[in-house]
A and B are shown apart, each in its own frame.
Chain A
Amino acid sequence: MIHPLAWVAWLGAVLTALTLTRNPFYLALILGWIAAVTGLSRPAAGTAPIPISPLRFAMGVVAFSALFNALTVHFGDTALFSLPEALPLLGGVITLEALVFGGLNGLVVSGLFAAFSIVNRVLPVRALIRLIPRAFYPVAVVASIAVTFVPAMLRHFEQIREAQAVRGHRLRSWRDWLPLVMPLLIGGLERALQLAEAMTARGFVAVERPGDDLKTRLVMIAGLLLLLGGWLLRLVWQQERAGLGLLLLGVGMILGLLWRVGRRAPRTVYRPEPWQARDAGVMLGAAMTALAFLVQLPGLDRSAIFYYPYPALAIPGFDPGVAMATLGLLGPLLGRARRADPAADTMFEHTQI
Chain B
Amino acid sequence: MNLRNPVLSMVIYGLSTGIGLVAFLYPFWLPAVPRTAIMGQAHSHDAPLLLTLLVGLCLAVLLLEVQGQAVSAKLAALLGILVAINSVLRFIETALPGPGGFSPVFFLIIVTGYVYGGRFGFLMGALTLLVSALMSGGVGPWLPYQMFTAGWVGLSAPLCRPTVWLLGGEGRQREVLILAAFGGLWGLLYGAIMNIWFWPYAAGPVEQYWEPGLALVDTLQRYAVFYLATSLLWDTLRSTGNVLYMVAVGLPTLRALRRFRQRFAFDYHDPSPASGGRRV
Residues of A whose CB lies within 8 Å of any CB of B are: 15-16, 19-20, 47-51, 69, 72-76, 89, 97-98, 101-102, 105, 112-113, 116-117, 119-121, 125, 128-129, 135-136, 138-139, 141-150, 152-154, 157, 174-175, 177-178, 181-182, 184-186, 188-189, 191-193, 195-196, 199-200, 204-206, 208-212, 214, 217-218, 220-221, 223-225, 227-228, 231, 234-236, 238, 240, 247, 250-251, 254, 257-258, 261, 294, 305-306, 310, 353
Contact = CB atoms under 8 A, between A and B. Distances in A.
B248 A178 contact: yes
Contact of A177 (B19, B37, B94, B249): B249
Contacts of A250: 57
Nearest to B37: A238
A334 B229 CA distance: 46
Contacts, number: 289
Interface in B89-128: 89, 91-92, 94, 104, 108, 123, 127
Interface stretch (B59-67, B156-164, B165-173): B59-67
B208 A72 contact: yes
B46 A75 contact: no
Contacts of B141: 15, 112, 116
Contacts of A206: 71-73, 280
Nearest to B92: A157
A72, A129, A258 pick with most chain B CB within 10 angstroms: A72
Nearest to B29: A236
- Give the secondary structure class of B's interface: helix
B260 A189 contact: yes
Interface in B41-83: 41-43, 45-50, 53-54, 57-58, 60-61, 63-65, 67-68, 70-74, 76-83
Contacts of B54: 227, 231
Contacts of B134: 125, 128-129, 143, 147
Interface stretch (B9-17, B174-182, B183-191, B213-221): B9-17
Given A154-B91, A182-B253, A217 B81 contact: no
Nearest to B209: A73
5 contacts: A120-B138, A120-B139, A181-B89, A205-B280, A254-B61
A183 B130 CA distance: 25
Contact of B71 (A16, A129, A138, A147): A138
B81 A195 contact: yes
Contact of B64 (A116, A136, A353): A136
A196 B91 contact: no
